[in-house]
Structure 1
Amino acid sequence: MPLSLFPLSIVSLSILAALLPVSSALADDSGFEIIEVTGHHEGSYSAVNTESSSPQTDISGLLDSIPGAAVNGNGPLTGIAQYRGLFGDRVNTQINGISLAGAGPNAMDTPLSYASLVNSERLEVTRGIAPVSAGTDTLGGSIKVIESQASFDETSGKLAGQYQDNGQRSHLGAKANLGGQDHALLVYADILKGQDNITTGDNKEVKPTTYDKNMVGGQYRFNLSDDNGADESIAIGYQHLETKDAGTPALPMDIDFIRSDRIKIEGQHDIKDWDMNWHLAYSDAKHGMDNFSERMKMPSMNARYNNADSTGFDGTLSIGKDAWLFGLNTQLSEHNSVISDPTKPMFHVDNFNGVTDNTYSAFAQWQQDIDQWNWQLGARVKHYQTDADEVEHSMSGSMPAIKILMDRFNDADRSQSQTGLDLVLNGRYQVNDELSWILGLARKQDSASYQQRYLWVPMQSTGGLADGRTYVGQVDLELETAYQLELGADFATDTLSISPRIFLNRINNYIQGVKATDPAVVMAAQMMGDSNPMQFANVDAQLLGMDVTAIYQLADNWKLDMNASYISGERRDIQDNLYRIAPPKVNLGLNYQSGHWQGRIEGVAVSAQNKVSETQQEQTTAGYALMNISVGYDADSWLVKAGVNNLFDTEYEDHLAGYNRVMGADIAPGERRPGMGMSAWVTGEYRF
């Protein structure tokens, strides 16, 4: 199909899908949709398990197999989740049920980077409008990494490994579960290495894209249940992560180290027929980054080192019975970031100092079958409290503009307190055993990130925007308020499954960068080489689009699967598009399954993205098509798979990959980063 016709084909496909009498998709090797009933929560989510995928350096790569989802890739270990055009803090992301703050002000340690490859069972994305029970801030959807838990009366384990020749990337992982009647212990470890820079289809080297990452963890669980068969237990888990010498070529610095420790205590109880679940989690993370260890520093550039740290606390209590579910949540975090110059001991900048970002919330959710309808109604009240300490800049004495900005920030009322309200209605109408109609309505609110509020001097510490621009924050940003609509259908027979969705997301007070006009901001930015700085502000925005999944059983051993997405994001206050929106995409796979053997041929077609943000000087990208193949043998206790991604070694630009920030490389500074060229890979695992 010619790429110039691709957008038209997407529109035609969406119209056709809306007209078809189309319920849940059948499972396939890449992604699958599930209708789940778990106690008091029923919902629809798309999921992909780690065993079915090709090798990943970061679990965020699995999002490419899920309709409506994508990855903003700033580096091999720095994948930022995007869902239906929204990304970053707007997307509620939980690892093993918790949301804890990262240390990096530029999101080098994204939430998904804390997931263990060997201990993760699957990645789930709530399809459409997330219920209030899914998390505190779900304006941009809900993503959960489901990890293995310590299990009673079970002795099991897994050894897993993978290797990719492009970049010499490898992973070794192991986990083991030892469980008796009353005690269970789970331990796991991951070792990930990227020993070389990746190359593109035109044999250009993308540097730096090497990395070294290790993770260890475990969980102990104690059985509280008695003879009545209630599922009750209490558990404590721990994880230590260490990343070293990892490249992030779309950002102004690379990772020197990330070191974090996380602990979680949790319990589940049956109290007079009420199911109660709770957890308390704490994290302590330290992060160093610089612009000279992994990349060339030009003689005219100043050396910079950033020491950042964060602490985070996450607490949840939920209790449910019959149609009702109630819950309390709190997330507390503190952030610090200091920039220095190793060659000039007197130089220092308080990037962020004593920033606190706290959220307290409560929700109630009701779900009930009424005739042919299943209705889910929920409300969540959220209270946000943020603050920051005074800042210093060693050059404020010699640069009046920086002195003005520093004094203005220190004299301002930096303490902010806001209250938000989420309201969600999801409905499913069961026409018959094959067909269901989907309806979703919501009002959701979200607070600004700490970078958007407290970035006081023009810098690029923007939570991973990777647009090459410098920004300043705005302390008194309003809450983003979204009004969301979703319509869809699920249709399934023995041979065909199709599940289309159309959505509209109208957001008031959407937070993004606008051209800075403050003379002090402009002057300070010009001193640092940027004549067009940005300032975070509230604007009005709208996103609309569609996504569809389909599976067709061709024969006993053959089936086709497809997922397609189209998203359009634009400003409503001016004529402009939103930044970093995933282009239209279709993923089509032909799968073979016979006994233990499996195979897959996959085609990925991505349209050109011409709807770009002029405000943020975003570059357009051309469309492209890729071919991936794989074959595997899955026995009872072991699995081996091999394949080739980008089979024809196509040169292409990934619209979400950001711009190259590295000097003296094959790719010019400011040029859109190309995608990976042909990569042969092999994975294996042994289960016991």
Structure 2
Amino acid sequence: MLCQPILALTQLTKQKHNYNLIMKLSLSYLTVSIAAILWSSTILAQESAFEVIEVTGQHQGSYSAITTESSAAVADISALLANLPGTAVNGNGPLTGIAQYRGLFGDRVNTQVNGLSLAGAGPNAMDTPLSYASLINTERLDMTRGIAPVSAGTNTLGGSLKVIESQARFDEVSGTVAAQYQGNGDQAHIGAQTNLANDQHALLLYGDLMQANSNMESGASQAIAPTTYDKSMVGGQYRLNLSDTSSEDASIAISYQHLETTNAGTPVLPMDIDFIRTDRVKLEGQHQLSNWDLNWHLAYSDARHGMDNFSERVKNDNANARYNNAESQSYDSAITIEQDAWLLGLNAQFSEHNSVITDPTKPMFRVDNFNDVTDNTLSAFAQWQQDIDQWNWQLGLRVKHYQTDAGEVNHSMAGSMPAIKTLMDRYNSADRSQSQTGVDLVMNGRYQVTPSLSWVIGLARKQDSASYQQRYLWVPMQSTGGLADGRTYVGKMDLALETAYQLELGADYHQDNFSLSPRIFVHRIDDYIQGVTATDPVVIMAAKMMGDDNPMEFANVDAQLLGMDITASYQLSAHWQLDMMASYVSGERRDIDDNLYRIAPPKLNLGLNYQRGNWLARIESIAVAAQDKVSKTQLEQASSGYGLVNLSLSYDADTWMVKTGVNNLFNTDYEDHLAGYNRVSNTELAPGQRMPGTGLNAWVTGEYRF
């Protein structure tokens, strides 16, 4: 039975026209590269591309994790997702990666940084949740593998990702200085972190500076423009010990972070980043109350964001200049109590969004993109987890109440464009307040067959609400939360809650020198929210005035996703190890004959690691299949498959570490299916062309610890 998931993967991938050719090509690259390594007696590698942490116990589950130290050089934490099973990145720019898990992406994936789910300012998700993670302060990126428990977050229909950051620690004086450089794009990063503490007071300080001075290049030596950026982040945490010892079981802490991004390109979106300035504050505490563990936090974020279509890219003479000034304020709070088998909690998220579009060359032009939009959620959950004979059961219930509203809007062209005035009047006269209640039910089970083998089962019914863009985008625009499909959309205020029925089956097998963890899953989603062809003649007329003959509108449809992901490793000898990770997902509409938009293609990652003493080397081959199951409704283009080879070498001493490597060793020219389409004119790439992946990229990282 353990082999059935592997056979399923084989049958599914054989349906792809180019997949076998890609595999042969990729494996031949791998063979040649290994031979070159052995011939030259050079050690090339890094730590394993991913580490899998499987934990069962009180209110735990199955997790996969990746650390910044175990990866190649990255500009954004989202790049680490490529090393976790079932995950992918919708790349809208070097700093604008949107998490995808098993075909679901965006707001459907619960993404927390330092335990927080705070709203960004960008209506097109230029400041994605993962962009707020500090490179120097991040310890690891955790992914709940499979069906996320209700305790993982409020909205977990698409899974749960958590950036685990360093916390101020008592009785410790330590620090880290790290730097990295990537040749493709002339990208550099330097970061520093220090912890200063005694047994009662602890102070953590950190800072990041990162910059890309030139545009990245594809394997065909074409400039991917604009992809320069300038980003900085500073922060810190003070923690006060409330206990008699330094065990940190009772403390209170306050944290602060300031992020500033300027002059950053997002070539698949209609505008680039002029600036993002965000301040975040978090107050938190942990306490022992009798036999209960109490944890709580209250956080606030103030985000400001400017973007335009003329600073980083050359604007066509016949195109209008546009500047979007957006801002958001958001609150996130939670309180949980835990005792033995029970975990109970309350969560609240409140946010307000504003976005105004102007034309610097025409002072009278002004459009309310979003005005006084409020998006609030209150929820409560209960979770029970217990060992019963050979079973470990986890049962959870979360009830959540969504409340959204928006202010009236205005458009300076309403007086001369009847279609726009009609849409504006409709919107302003409508009841924009929406209120909905959702319920999540989760059951996860693990059966321990032998000490080496366990079976995994998960069942869930989960609900999620529409994003504020999907509800309140009132005039055809591309402010869609980062869809990057080049289409204009309008929202629908009364969208129903998405309701997903989820099933997962899997196994975990671990011997001394071999491990295998396959998973298969099915998600049947009623009232799935996506774009459909607009039929309202007023919407169509307004879109044509702005140059789009085929506008879209958000609507509830029916969908289904199914697939599998698998990880495996084999210790060949004391120094050599093989690892493998593969994933496949298919997303389809159930109401019509069509596929879902922007689904990651099948992928296989094979790695060979060599370790001796402080030296660690890795060579990996990545094979990505063609993706021809695309959304006809959203005019999505198919993409071809490709194979890549990456090399790395590291030396990790007690107090310092140096690592170097090459990504895309053979400078392969390929298209990244999840990277969207070029929206920039007057570059080496044609407008509407699928964005190519980056070509050969040599990099080096270093770290000093004290």
Q: How would you bin the TM-score normalised by the shorter chain?
A: over 0.9
Matches within 5 A, 1:291-310: 291-310=309-328
Matches within 5 A, 1:201-600: 201-226=219-244, 231-600=249-618
8 Å CA contact 2:47–2:617 kept in 1: the answer is no
Partner SS, residue 60 of structure 2: strand
TM-score (norm 2): 0.94
Matched, 1:616 2:634: yes
State the match for 2:51 in structure 1: 32
Partner SS, residue 684 of structure 2: coil
Partner SS, residue 275 of structure 2: strand
Amino acid at match of 1:382: K
Amino acid at match of 1:6: Y
State the match for 1:22 in structure 2: none
State the match for 1:638 in structure 2: 656
Q: Distance in 2 between matches of 1:320 and 1:8?
A: 53
Shift of 1:41: 1.4
Aligned pair in 2 of structure 1 residues 230, 237: CA closer, same or farther (>3 Å)?
closer
Matched, 1:183 2:201: yes
Aligned pair in 2 of structure 1 residues 352, 570: CA closer, same or farther (>3 Å)?
same
Shift of 1:6: 2.5
8 Å CA contact 1:170–1:192 kept in 2: the answer is yes
Matched, 1:58 2:71: no
**What 5-or-longer segments of structure 1 have no aligned partner?**
11-26
* 1:274-326 alpha-carbon deviations (Å, 9 max, x no partner): 00000000000000000000001001000000000000000000001000000
> How many residue pairs end up in the alignment?
671
8 Å CA contact 1:543–1:567 kept in 2: the answer is yes
Q: Distance in 2 between matches of 1:190 and 1:398?
A: 49
Shift of 1:5: 5.6
Partner SS, residue 64 of structure 1: helix
Aligned pair in 2 of structure 1 residues 608, 153: CA closer, same or farther (>3 Å)?
same
Shift of 1:56: 0.6
State the match for 2:7 in structure 1: none
Q: Distance in 2 between matches of 1:224 and 1:120?
A: 26
Shift of 1:7: 7.1
Aligned match for 2:695, one of 653, 677, 680: 677
8 Å CA contact 2:199–2:245 kept in 1: the answer is no
Q: Distance in 1 between matches of 2:256 and 2:56?
A: 29
Q: Distance in 2 between matches of 1:510 and 1:377?
A: 25
Q: Distance in 2 between matches of 1:420 and 1:595?
A: 53
Q: Distance in 2 between matches of 1:323 and 1:228?
A: 26
Provide the identity percentage. Answer: 71
Q: Distance in 2 between matches of 1:317 and 1:579?
A: 37
**What 5-or-longer segments of structure 2 have no aligned partner?**
1-12, 24-45
Matches within 5 A, 1:11-90: 29-36=48-55, 40-90=58-108
Partner SS, residue 678 of structure 2: coil
Partner SS, residue 311 of structure 2: coil
Shift of 1:102: 0.1
Partner SS, residue 42 of structure 1: coil
8 Å CA contact 1:72–1:657 kept in 2: the answer is yes
Q: Distance in 1 between matches of 2:47 and 2:628?
A: 32
8 Å CA contact 2:607–2:621 kept in 1: the answer is yes
Amino acid at match of 2:420: I
8 Å CA contact 2:22–2:624 kept in 1: the answer is no
Shift of 1:36: 3.0
Shift of 1:4: 3.9
Partner SS, residue 600 of structure 2: coil
State the match for 2:19 in structure 1: 6
Amino acid at match of 2:85: P
8 Å CA contact 2:617–2:649 kept in 1: the answer is yes
Amino acid at match of 2:221: N
* 1:401-452 alpha-carbon deviations (Å, 9 max, x no partner): 0000000000000000000000000000000110000000000000000000
Shift of 1:229: 5.9
8 Å CA contact 1:196–1:210 kept in 2: the answer is yes
Shift of 1:34: 1.2
Amino acid at match of 2:333: G
Q: Distance in 1 between matches of 2:332 and 2:661?
A: 40
8 Å CA contact 1:7–1:584 kept in 2: the answer is no
Q: Distance in 2 between matches of 1:435 and 1:9?
A: 33
Partner SS, residue 614 of structure 1: coil
Partner SS, residue 656 of structure 1: helix
State the match for 1:155 in structure 2: 173
Amino acid at match of 1:621: S
Q: Distance in 1 between matches of 2:299 and 2:581?
A: 36
8 Å CA contact 1:35–1:42 kept in 2: the answer is no
